Amino acid sequence: MLYHLHELQQAMMTPIRFQADLMRSALQNPWNPLSHTQIGRTMGASAEMIERATRRFGRPEFGLSETEIDGKKVSVVEKTIVEKPFCRLLNFKRKTKRNDPRVLICAPMSGHYATLLRGTVRALLPHHDVYITDWEDARQVPQSEKFNLDTYITYLREFMSLLGPDTHLIAVCQPAVPVLAAVSLMATENDPNQPRSMTLMGGPIDTRVSKTTVTELAETRPLSWFENSVVYDVPFYYPGAFRKVYPGFLQLGGFMSMNLDKHVGKHMQFFQHLVNGDGDSAKAHKKFYNEYLAVMDIPAEFYLQTVETVFQKHLLPRGLMEWRDPHTDELMDVRPPDIQRTALLTVEGEKDDISARGQTTAAHEMCYSLSQRKQYHHFQLECGHYGIFNGRRWREGIMPAIRNFIRQQQPDVDPIPKKDLEKTPHVKAERYNRDSHGIAAVRRWLKEHSRENYRETTD
């Protein structure tokens, strides 16, 4: 019923949005004398705020038509390599003869489209052959097509088999668990297409290590609460009619509420930028929120299985996770200790409030058969969750560390041009050290960090 009420509200707001957009166009037209007055700019800014508040933001485009290598522009063409009911495997084909490492970015299925990782792709493009999982909005997929966590893992295995053993995986946030599971299963079967490396970035490998608002919500509610409170049927007029989903607008509401003051402040600044005629700042705001406010529905089976497996029962770190082969219905144990060929890099941000410090590095504790020379960790100071894969700290600190790690595992590729290294020098990730990066070390750091925060608030 909530989904239908949301759709009804959107429909009722349509006339208001059209009127606001018409007023905005009139009042921001430079030929209109009012647009050059304080009252005219204020009214125009108000109209634009109303139009954006009532708009439904559609699926964005990647729009990456070129990159720059060694100071030269290189054309990029977006190609669909595989198309499955719930996912397209995209390749950003560069018109160059460079022999660069093949990278598969595993985008999260957590409410936002894969285009949220546009900055991730853009930074990797100059020196990597980039592929990405582009997940489909569940309301656009017929109900006959099933999708759960097991299906997600199956998709990843199929993509890795297609791309071959010289592939490097990068999992951003939520996919860290299915990526580790998929690589573990391939290692157990001694699959010849095991990837050369996997980079897990801000992922909930073991949420018992450190708590966040997200993990506490999942742990303090029974699974039935999620099923009854956040799962709804897709309305009849969509291709996925009557499919049970976790609606994107609910997921967005959850994201916004976690940092509500920050989002309200950003929108107040946006209003002021419009009034002051600061076009560049207003454009930057719209660019970010056009992406952030575009959301998709998540299949209920996948969502509920993820909540139970990852956040409630912690099956992977406890060594109890199983994968059901959708083709044979056979159950297989997920065994990270079987991984010996795929190098591991974990990345965490100091201020990540979604996957806090230690949740991702826990992967090293599970992959104890992996040689120490294949285990690395990168900790980025002053970096929140979004900053792990987008923004300045991603471009200048994290991406160069990943780039260097990947080339360490595959040295027989083309070197990075000197001109590019001058712009973004290599950053070396640390060798994973249990005494410095392990779970016990992280818990000591968290305890000391909480004491420092307490002292700061009481001083």
Overall average pLDDT of the 171-178 stretch: 96
Percent residues over pLDDT 90 in the chain: 71
Closest CA to 69 of 47, 97, 43: 97
389 confidence band (pLDDT: 50, 70, 90): very high
Question: How far is Cα 59 from Cα 295, in angstroms, rounded to an integer?
Answer: 8
Domains in the chain: boundaries: 67-223+298-430
Question: How far is Cα 95 from Cα 75, in angstroms, rounded to an integer?
Answer: 6
pLDDT, residue 455, reads: 47
Overall average pLDDT of the 268-275 stretch: 90
pLDDT, residue 4, reads: 85
Question: How far is Cα 189 from Cα 366, in angstroms, rounded to an integer?
Answer: 18
pLDDT, residue 310, reads: 96
Overall average pLDDT of the 242-255 stretch: 89
Question: How far is Cα 126 from Cα 130, in angstroms, rounded to an integer?
Answer: 9
Write the CB contacts of 435 (distance below 8 Å, at least 6 apart in sequence). 441
Averaged pLDDT of the chain: 92
Contact 364, 344 (CB under 8 A): yes
pLDDT, residue 410, reads: 96
Percent residues over pLDDT 70 in the chain: 98
Distance (Å) of CA 313 to CA 26, 223, 321, 418: 56, 11, 9, 49
192 confidence band (pLDDT: 50, 70, 90): very high
Which parts of 144-212 fold into alpha helices (H)?
149-163, 176-188
Both tokens of 349, joined, read: 């941000």
Question: How far is Cα 29 from Cα 48, in angstroms, rounded to an integer?
Answer: 13
Question: How far is Cα 374 from Cα 341, in angstroms, rounded to an integer?
Answer: 9
Q: What is the CATH number of domain 67-223+298-430?
A: 3.40.50.1820
pLDDT, residue 454, reads: 42
The model carries a pTM of 0.92
For the ranges 174-178, 184-188, 274-278, 390-394, the lowest mean pLDDT is seen at 274-278
pLDDT, residue 450, reads: 66
Residue 298 has pLDDT above 50, yes or no: yes
Residue 459 has pLDDT above 80, yes or no: no
The helix (H) or strand (E) run that includes residue 106 is strand 102-106
458 confidence band (pLDDT: 50, 70, 90): very low
Question: How far is Cα 135 from Cα 108, in angstroms, rounded to an integer?
Answer: 8
pLDDT, residue 10, reads: 86
Distance (Å) of CA 351 to CA 347, 356, 357, 385: 12, 8, 8, 7
Closest CA to 369 of 337, 335, 344: 337
